[in-house]
Structure 1
Amino acid sequence: MNDPYLFSVTNHVATFSVNDAPFNLMPVSYIDRLEEQLPEVLADNAIRAMVFTAEGLANFSAGMNLRQIPEGIKRAGSPEAFFAQRHRVLGMIENGGTPAIATFFGYCLGAGLELPLACHFRIAASEGAKIGLPEMDLGSVPAWGGSARLPRVVGRSHALDMILRARKIDGNEALKMGLVTEVVPLEQLKARAQALGEELAAQPRLAVKAVLDTVVGFETKTLDESIDDEKRAVAATLGTPDSQEGMAAFLEKRKPVFNQS
């Protein structure tokens, strides 16, 4: 039996892959493994970006393995504890201070959209993506934060249209509504995600974290609170080796090389 959770690091970019072909359903163990490994990844200064994807080119994920919900609830002790773990893991991705990139291809449904919504960048295949929250068709509602995050990303009208109608959209429509930042051919999707991860990993680590700390969650902050966050970000990056390298590179008219210390 294949391991449904694969992890690797290349050029300072950590890649988490769902590996349960053909639909890449997320088993209970996938979230358990994420909860165990994410703190180590987020604390590792050598890992400066993350990519969430899946093996193959058929589907990112058709969502959670619904057959395992009773087992998961039993292990957690209650439905509340079971879903709290998922919110906790997605919160680590969103608030951990390391840029996270998700790939959309094939089915990206339920948890297969909710996990990417916790990421900071989403890239879709130009063909074949089916992105949505179909819980209404099951007589239920999104349970991993989908109804909370989706309107913050695409706005209330688009979110309600997708959720209440259980509507699936493709990569091009996702781009139009701001759900993804890029659309690329399917065969280029994973390479593009890795390239973006490496680009972000080459940026000054402390400055990247400071910007994420300022911008993530801005929807619930006042302007003054966000400005205070920015002030803290400036204080955290002023005079660092990376800021000194950036200034020196600017004056010397060369490309800066960050994260040397």
Structure 2
Amino acid sequence: MGYNTVIFEKENNIAVITLNKPKSMNSISNELMSELNSVLDLIAADNEIAVVILTGSEKVFAAGADIKEIGQINTPVKAHVFVETIQSLFNKLERLPQPVIAAVSGLALGGGCEMCMSCDIRIAADNALFGQPEIKIGVIPGAGGTQRLPRLVGVGRAKELLYTGDPIKAEEAYRIGLVNKVVPLASLMDEARALASKIAKQPGYALKTTKIVVNDGINMDLRSANAYESRSFEQLFATEDQQEGMKAFIEKRKAVFTGK
């Protein structure tokens, strides 16, 4: 299937999604949201895909919402339609069964920053710039920025970024916990693929379970989350991978996982 705004590639058990709107700085338009939504559905249904990498171009990951389309929003009702669409997409990205690595270079502003925060892990090139500048045009982030950012960097630091709208460089993003790693631009995709390959070797069902438990548990009180973790832990003892992993450990050999 061909797309106008994204490039979808499958490399063995790793999927790579590249945002591809060079003339508009990978702005998040209705067309891009529709196509990305379709790609995520394909990935979720593909049991061969273990890990996903989401990236943009060298100069821009995504510079926010499409200004031409945003400029046409002049009522709360139209704003509601837009924000429901983009939140639904980013929630789907966050809840994708497979882990998602954002490989970010250049600008990741507004919706672009919110998109990468919806991923599980963020690797930044040394030229990356992150920010939520919505306050400067009289609005607030509408795709999870006010909620995911505090969860990643803490409430005080998040409020500073949200109140000022000022962007931060990759090293500062790493310092405050917004990104996991900063690498030279030339090695960004190599680093992302290396990490994706390492994660892809883990037992698939346990990997998916880990993602679900972390994502759901963070919104529970600690007692409920621990109980949820316990039940999920117990269920993994019904999998072939758990039996193979334990047997391989005892026999001091490398485990061969099948995702079952």
Give the superposition deviation at 1:11.
2.4
Give the superposition deviation at 1:73.
9.2
CA contact (8 A) 2:52 2:100 kept: yes
CA contact (8 A) 1:124 1:183 kept: yes
- Structure 1 residue 8 and structure 2 residue 14: aligned? no
- Structure 1 residues 224 and 107: alpha-carbon distance in aligned structure 2, compared to 1, 3 A threshold: same
Which residue is 2:70 aligned to?
69
CA contact (8 A) 1:162 1:168 kept: yes
**Hey, what's the Cα distance between the residues in 2 that align with 1:206 and 1:260?**
6
- Structure 1 residues 175 and 224: alpha-carbon distance in aligned structure 2, compared to 1, 3 A threshold: same
Give the superposition deviation at 1:39.
2.4
* TM-score for the superposition, normalised by structure 1: 0.91
**Hey, what's the Cα distance between the residues in 1 that align with 2:34 and 2:102?**
19
Q: Which moved more, 1:242-251 or 1:152-161?
A: 242-251
CA contact (8 A) 1:6 1:18 kept: yes
Which residue is 2:125 aligned to?
125
SS of equivalent to 2:218: helix
Which residue is 2:20 aligned to?
19
- Structure 1 residues 43 and 228: alpha-carbon distance in aligned structure 2, compared to 1, 3 A threshold: farther
Give the superposition deviation at 1:140.
1.4
Give the superposition deviation at 1:142.
0.6
Give the superposition deviation at 1:247.
1.2
Which residue is 2:88 aligned to?
88
Which residue is 1:255 aligned to?
254
**Hey, what's the Cα distance between the residues in 2 that align with 1:187 and 1:112?**
21
* TM-score for the superposition, normalised by structure 2: 0.91
Which residue is 1:106 aligned to?
106
Q: What is the RMSD computed on CA atoms of the aligned residues?
A: 2.0
Give the superposition deviation at 1:62.
1.0
For this pair of structures, how many residues does the alignment match?
Answer: 256
Give the superposition deviation at 1:236.
2.6
**Hey, what's the Cα distance between the residues in 1 that align with 2:142 and 2:240?**
43
Deviations 1:152-174 (A, max 9, x none): 11001111111111111111111
Identity %: 32
CA contact (8 A) 1:18 1:26 kept: no
**Hey, what's the Cα distance between the residues in 2 that align with 1:206 and 1:157?**
36
SS of equivalent to 1:229: helix
Q: Which moved more, 1:154-163 or 1:208-217?
A: 208-217
Q: Which moved more, 1:158-167 or 1:95-104?
A: 95-104
Which residue is 2:156 aligned to?
157
For residues 131-210 of structure 1, the aligned pairs below 5 Å read: 131-210=130-209
Give the superposition deviation at 1:72.
8.4
**Hey, what's the Cα distance between the residues in 1 that align with 2:209 and 2:167?**
35
5+ long unaligned stretches in structure 1: none
